[in-house]
A and B are shown apart, each in its own frame.
Chain A
Amino acid sequence: MGTAERVVFEHVSKRYPGTGTGNPGAVEDLSLEVPAGKICVLVGPSGCGKTTSLKMVNRLIEPTSGRILIGDTDVARRDVIELRRSIGYVIQQVGLFPHQTVGENVATVPRLLGWEPARQRARAAELLELVGLDPGRYAGRYPTALSGGERQRVGVARALAADPPVLLMDEPFGAVDPIVRERLQNELLRLQEELAKTIIFVTHDIDEAIKMGDLVAVMQVGGHLAQFGPPAEILANPASEFVARFVGADRGLKRLALVRVGELELREATTARPGEDAAAVRPRAAADSFPYVLLVDEANRPIGWLDERRIPASGPLVVDHAEAESPLFDRHTTLKDALSMLLEAGVQAGIVVGGAGAVEGLVTVEMIMERVRPA
């Protein structure tokens, strides 16, 4: 995929006529640099100017003073239409065109750029696959037939269609429920590993900021930048009373969000297939201190837990034997979310699964607590 570009804010201000500074939506002397290929999250309470700042990058709003650079070029010097066609934009309500199919929506910018129809279609299919939607099933459908999560995936695909060096996202996962949101966040992180775009991401949720950002810019009402730095820095050393309050009292817990499940050494699960002879499974289960055996299917996907003590002496294992469900994690799930899910479900361990749903290992509450214990 193409190269990402850095984005630089140089003393950017936005004042609305007839008002002084400190108004909702205003931005005051914002300066920061987002290195190419990094995710920068703009976070803050309502009215802190984060969305305004975002919209000044693709000139949906024009700054009152200061300038914004993409790469080395001032965006104000570029033709605004050409600029926007080279920047991806994702918003909370998605804004898919209802009268066009999913495929046509995704191919919006390629079509504006004059690509041949065949190339447009191919690209749309490629992107739908990338965001986890089967092109065969989705390309011909209309947006009203999709769920919220599906629509947002299409929105992201559309934004990426022309392979822009910069991606702008304004509370993109705000309109979906928390479970879907977590999944979408993880998928975006996975995409970013592959594509390495420069992403500017706006949210009001500090937890999302810590999870998603390589760099976090905390803004306060009036459009002032309160602190800018990596999430760990914001958590460890809040630069002001406001930042400390905004991050929240549970900074210790929040640090759990800095570590992902993928960074842990996963515990191996003792697995078994339905139909396997119980007699063969028992010794394996005994060797593992963990009191449960994980039943999986032929593709190694989890079905359920089997209490060791309940394994029959002999005979094939049956799916009915399985009980208790565990939360599923992937490598991008933060320890904070993992712990939260485990506590919610009231279980000892969660199952880490890979892209196709296959089991990769276990994460227990103990493992999480061990990880964050000071060295």
Chain B
Amino acid sequence: MIDWGWIADHIGAIAGRLGQHIELTAIALVVGFAISLALSLWSLRRPRAKTLVIGISGILFTIPSLALFAAFTSITGLSLLTAEIPLVLYTLVIYVRNMLVGLEAVPADVLEAADASGFRPRERLLRIELPLAIPLIVSGLRLASVSTIGLVTITSTIGDAFGGLGFFIKERPFFLTEVLVGAVGSIALALAADAAFARLQRRLTPWAAARTAVDPR
């Protein structure tokens, strides 16, 4: 059923597309992260801003990606922007929701103790709030990475220059081997990213694992 010979012959192309897939994903994740962090910090204590940010990013997310990619093809042509702008926009709601929940989950007594100790607002943000929000921020990264890896396959609709592993899904739809390379490859990539970020999350929170039997003194 599977033509291993074809795979062997095209290993270079496959590696290239894999690399492209990772590159497209990474750019979107990084740019999206930066924008979302800025938006989250801005709307953290501004209820109306928060509604606006979550509302707009939510609406964007609802729009089917084929539509958005095709629309941008018309605006920004066959450039990297056409692929990346929608990819970034789709990460926003995932990131922002998780970042805001993470930042808002810092207990009030911890914030009060920080203020009373004499932290300046920026010091408090950098040394107390953000570190404590890390588990949820990484959770956002995890969800965004899986989502983006999936969306990158759809960039193949922009043109042959894009698509990452998605290229192989579309190129010859009846050729099972090639389709499998693209489909299974992108699924495997997504699962790998999911597992990697899950591990990262566990590594970054040593204090959560510290619960031990309590000594009633």
Contacts and interface: CB of A to CB of B under 8 A. Distances in A.
A127 to B, nearest CB: 14
Contacts of A143: 207
A81 B118 contact: yes
A282 interface: no
A190 interface: no
A95 B207 contact: no
Nearest to A153: B217
A167 B117 CA distance: 12
A141 B210 contact: yes
Interface string B116-134: 1111100100001001100
Contact of A84 (B109, B117, B205): B117
Given A95-B107, A95-B109, A98-B132, A89 B207 contact: no
A113 to B, nearest CB: 9
Contacts of A180: 216-217
Contacts of A81: 118-120
B195 interface: no
Interface range for B:
20 to 34
B207 to A, nearest CB: 4
A2 B26 CA distance: 55
B73 to A, nearest CB: 45
A112 B210 contact: no
Interface in A48-72: 58, 60
B215 A147 contact: yes
Interface string A137-150: 00001111111011
A93 B215 CA distance: 18
B206 interface: yes
A338 interface: no
Contacts of B211: 144-145
Contacts of B206: 142
Given A109-B117, A142-B206, A145-B210, A94 B109 contact: yes
Given A91-B109, A95-B109, A97-B110, A149 B115 contact: no
A99 B114 CA distance: 13
A82 interface: yes
Given A97-B110, A108-B117, 20 more contacts: A81-B118, A81-B119, A84-B115, A84-B118, A85-B118, A89-B116, A91-B116, A92-B109, A93-B107, A94-B109, A95-B112, A95-B113, A97-B128, A112-B118, A144-B208, A147-B214, A147-B215, A147-B216, A150-B215, A155-B113
